[in-house]
Amino acid sequence: MSTASRLPGIVTTDHVFQLPLDHAAPQGEQIDVYAREVVASGREKDDLPWLLFLQGGPGGKAGRPLGRDGWLERALDDYRVLLLDQRGTGRSTPANRQSLARRGGAREQADYLAHFRADSIVRDAELIRRRLIGDRRWSVLGQSFGGFCTLTYLSIAPEGLYEAFITGGLSGLRSSADDVYRAAYPRVVRKNEEHYARYPQDVEAVRRIAAHLVGSPATLPDGGLLTVEAFQSLGLMLGAGSGSGTLHYLLEEAWVEGVAGPELSDTFLAGAQAKLSFAEGPLYAVLHESIYGQRSVDPAGTTWAAERVRKEFPAFDARTALESGAPVLFTGEMIYPWMFDTDPTLRPIKEAADLLAARTDWADLYDPARLAANEVPVVAAVYHDDMYVDTADSLETARAVRGLRTWVTNEWEHDGLRVSGGKVLDRLISMVRGEV
């Protein structure tokens, strides 16, 4: 039964759909997939076109609106929006250390998690579309990984789409996981250089913390371990518009004078934990490299590509940087196997993650021939030096999708959709309508 709620400027309605875990076996095990319908107050009965929102991730639940704010402000002028909690996230049937323990051993857990990639998400969306609006098409807005899912949608079920908007999510159609990280590490170096140019005092601040952690890893409030590598992974923030400033302010409060002298403050450790813990989104860690897995591209599997490729970029070795006097570099959007040792919420599913990293039978996610013949209007915001998604890959993909129009901008970072107050979405809507 659907439940409606009223918030400032909006009316939301809850929907829960029972869908197959494995779409190749539709009569088999079923899971719940939750979606929240959002419409502008006073327009509940209007016959509005639907806009499906696919969240970034993988493993990210849709945002929880508190009113008509952010990109919803613009979207609700024209659309009835459906915020999908992609399978395994939010109010959908959860996939985490607690629920996965009920599946059995690591092999059973890994086999279950293999059904949580973009192809399954798209097939979920198609079943939901038919149940909500029948044969009518809907529009889709894909942010980051949601853009990857949109390309999969255009590959396997374009008949369900009226138009598609993509923000920071044009993935390389034929890029292996190794290719992704070989392109990513140099971008992350540039983001480090920009951060240290903005806050030159952080060079020594980071070196001091790193030197301390090399000799004495810290225990986080949740029992996790802050090693020097975990500290470096705070660089994930550097790809967001306000990330550099947020990181700087965290570093400012790193130390407190304790009984035995300076020690890392509770404020800093709690702030680091908030950025590093996967408690709210374990699928992000478990499935991250699998989003690049395609058997025709990665026949040997992804095999912890970020960790392997990191060795090709010795500038990211904190110990070497400390010895040579160089700045310690933060890393970016990389998942490393040691995270399944340092994070208490990931430790119980470490073996399953290893099995997924070794998996070699990932289905291809994109159909280049079908994309080359695309007839769905598609527009995409490509951020000029996006730390998370390679701009060169994005532009190559744009050329490979028939009719796709791009807007390349350096006004916004990867989080432009969220922080622009609807400006990014407004530009894309104008583009798809031929107004700009």
Q: Indicate if 144 and 265 belong to the same structural domain.
A: no
Q: Which pTM was predicted?
A: 0.96
**Residue 16, φ and ψ in degrees, nearest 5:** -125, 130
Q: Is 216 a catalytic residue?
A: no
The reply to whether 189 and 334 lie within a common domain is yes
Cα(128)–Cα(309) distance, integer angstroms: 39
Judgement on whether residues 339 and 376 belong to the same structural domain of the protein: no
Q: What integer pLDDT is reported at residue 4 of this predicted model?
A: 87
Residue 3 has a pLDDT of 80
Q: Are residues 257 and 374 in the same domain?
A: no
The pLDDT, as a whole number, for residue 412 is 93
Full domain range(s) for residue 9: 4-173+366-432
308, 300 Cβ separation under 8 angstroms: no
pLDDT value of residue 1:
52
Q: Are 6 and 41 in contact (CB under 8 A)?
A: yes
- Asked whether 414 and 184 are in contact (CB, 8 A), the reply is no
Domain limit, last residue, from 311, 332, 358: 358
Asked if 144 is an active-site residue, the reply is yes
Active-site entry in 46, 47, 135, 361: 361
User: Do 209 and 83 share a structural domain?
Assistant: no
- In this structure, how many other beta carbons lie within 10 angstroms of the beta carbon of residue 215? 7
Q: Look up the CATH number of the domain holding residue 406.
A: 3.40.50.1820
Whether 231 and 158 map to the same domain: the answer is: no
Position 335 scores a pLDDT of: 98
Distance CA 382, CA 391 (A): 7
In the predicted model, residues of the chain with pLDDT beneath 50 are none
Same structural domain for residues 108 and 204? no
User: Of 120, 144, 175, 290, which is the active-site residue?
Assistant: 144
From the list 115, 212, 288, 414, the catalytic residue is 414
Q: Concatenated DSSP letters for 329-341? A: PP--S---TTHHH
8 A C-beta contact, residue 176 and residue 292: yes
